A = this chain, B = another copy of it.
Amino acid sequence: MTTRTQRRRGNARQARLKMREEAINKRPVHAGLIGGAYKPLQQGDLEKIHRTALEILQTIGIGSPTPEVIEYATGAGCWVDGNGRLCFPDSLIEDSIAMAAREYTIYSRSPDHADLQVGGYHVNYSTSGEAVSIYEPAERSFRPSTLVDLYDLGRLVGTLDNIHQFGQMVIPTELTDPREHDFNVAYALCAATQKPCEMAFSDARNVQPAIEMFDLVLGGKGRFAEKPFLSFGGCPIVSPLRFGEENLDLLVETSRLGLINDIAIAPQAGATSPAAMAGTLAQVTAEGLACLAITNIVSPGCPMTFAIWPFISDLRTGSFSGGSGEEALAMSACAQLGRFYDLPTSVAASMTDSKLPDAQAGFEKGITAVTAGLAGANRILESAGMLGSLMGCSYEALMIDNDMLGMAQRVVAGVEVNDETLSLDVIREAALGPGHFLGQPQTLELMETDYLYPEIADRSAPGAWEEEGSLDIMARARQGVSEVLSRHYPDHIDAQTDAAIRAKFPIRLASGDMQSGNGRW
């Protein structure tokens, strides 16, 4: 029975939620903007790629299927060919596309942040990347990343308005045991931010226990299943056209559990997929559709991100190049392929080949981030803080990229054209009157709703800029990071819950690491 106090609390909470939602939506940019104004491929191109993908799945198939997957798939109409490869009939693929989840939600644990609506033309930007190192600006070099870094990066993401999800940016390199890795990453994410999260488990057996941890965090058994705040990463394909055993096991397990399968399929054009971009798109589409079929055979309608991420090689060296024009184009094309199938998508963007946050990092990130958003990618991962083609991560880059993503989102948000915004009367009044629009009520009214102001990007007059020390954005980011991280120690897990989690899991984040005055910042 609901008491009166509970009802009143509920009403107050509803009112707070509504106010917060209005505040979030008042800004010109927010999670879930509508993209799709950029279409790199023609309709006929999409159909040709689709037909080629079907032919690949039927006549080449996917190598290294596990016995469990063979059993699932052959029961649904697949066959294993003479090379031991799992082949998929067109009809099964078409059925999988038809029955697949069209959208999913990754919830925020706080009304201060938006839930992620993933599907349609909604656009959201997320971190991720699982880098193994952190950029140290003073030395211009990289050091191994740690669990504390993951926690600190999450605290920072919690304060950056233009980043909508905290995905695992770094590997805690000191944790070599898969069980310790999985539970500590899960805990660090929950402790650092209440934004929607993402992580990749090392071992499928750790997923179910982790959900017990998430239920503790949410304050009751079964709560995570009701409102999942985390999506489950993994790479079930080793390109070209082969399954990776461990991540395939994970896909089957998370599908059985009905969790959000947040995979990534990342062939590298010229190395593990064709140098011809159309061929890479056809291959990665086939690889994505194979995963979609497995997911929907195991658990019809279970959410899966159609996450086809063609990476680009620098063909002079064969090494991965994250920040090229080819990359921006390929990822945008994949976002469009996802819309062709009406599936929830993710792509990788805002990557850079630069090793530090310089002008190169700026333009490589800006171009890839805005094109992915305009193409209507539902979730844009790797989108902040990454350097050196995902090798490293940088606190300063993360804060700079928040402004970069704000700008990209302002482009995605678009123009509203109607009788009011066309402003005929406002124009008449200004032209026949004062000759300017500075005092117009419309100008004051639209100042906060239609215009986005950067947090640390500089717009000062040249004289003022020189007087303040001619700082570049990297210097301002260093100041900003230090200011946030020295004071912002959020209390996202209460003491009792924390004790319960620590009693059950081998948590390595010391409580001293989670309080100010620890000397880190």
Question: Interface of A with B (CB < 8 Å)?
Answer: 29, 37-42, 44-45, 48-49, 52, 55-56, 59-60, 63, 83, 140-142, 240-242, 270-279, 281-283, 312, 314-319, 321, 323-326, 328-330, 332-333, 353-367, 369-371, 374, 388, 391-392, 397, 400, 403-404, 406-411, 413-418, 420-424, 426-428, 430-432, 435-438, 440, 442-443, 445-447, 450-453, 457-459, 461-462, 465-466, 470, 472-474
Checking B241, B315, B353 against A427 with a beta-carbon cut-off of 8 angstroms, the contacting residue is: B241
- Contact A391:B430 (CB < 8 A) given known A417-B278, A442-B276: no
Structural contact, B279 and A241, CB atoms closer than 8 A: no
Q: Nearest-CB distance from A102 to chain B (Å)?
A: 24
Chain B residue numbers with a CB within 8 Å of A314 are: 451, 453, 459
Q: List the B side residues contacting A270 at CB < 8 Å.
A: 437-438, 443, 446-447, 451
B459→A353 contact, CB < 8 A: yes
| A363 in contact with B362 (CB, 8 Å) | yes
Contact status B374-A411, CB under 8 Å: no
CB < 8 Å neighbour of A409 from B325, B420, B437, B445? B325
Q: How far is the CB of A370 from chain B (nearest CB, A)?
A: 5
Which residues of chain B have C-beta atoms less than 8 A from A428's C-beta? 59-60
Q: Tell me if A272 and B38 are in contact (CB < 8 A).
A: no
From B60, B424, B470, give the contact of A52 (CB < 8 A): B424
Name the residue among A317, A323, A332, A421 with the largest chain B CB count within 10 angstroms: A421
A364: which B residues are within 8 A, CB to CB? 362, 366, 407, 457
Bound CA–CA A316/B461 (angstroms): 13
Closest to A354 in B: B458
CA distance A474 to B275 in the complex (A): 31
- Known pairs A56-B427, A421-B276, A446-B276; A360 contacts B400 (CB<8 A): yes
Inter-subunit contact B470/A140 (CB<8 Å): yes
- Evaluate whether A274 and B359 lie within 8 angstroms (CB atoms) in the complex, with A63-B431, A370-B371 already known: no
CA distance A410 to B277 in the complex (A): 12
Query: Are B437 and A360 in contact, with the CB atoms below 8 A?
Result: no
A458 and B422 contact, CB distance less than 8 A: no
Q: Show 26 A/B contacts (Cβ-Cβ < 8 Å), sorted by A.
A: A38-B39, A40-B415, A83-B432, A240-B427, A240-B435, A242-B431, A270-B438, A271-B438, A272-B436, A274-B423, A274-B427, A275-B447, A278-B418, A279-B423, A315-B447, A323-B457, A326-B451, A329-B415, A332-B411, A353-B459, A360-B362, A363-B363, A363-B404, A364-B457, A366-B366, A366-B370
Contact assessment for A60 and B370 in the assembled complex, using a CB-CB cutoff below 8 Å = no
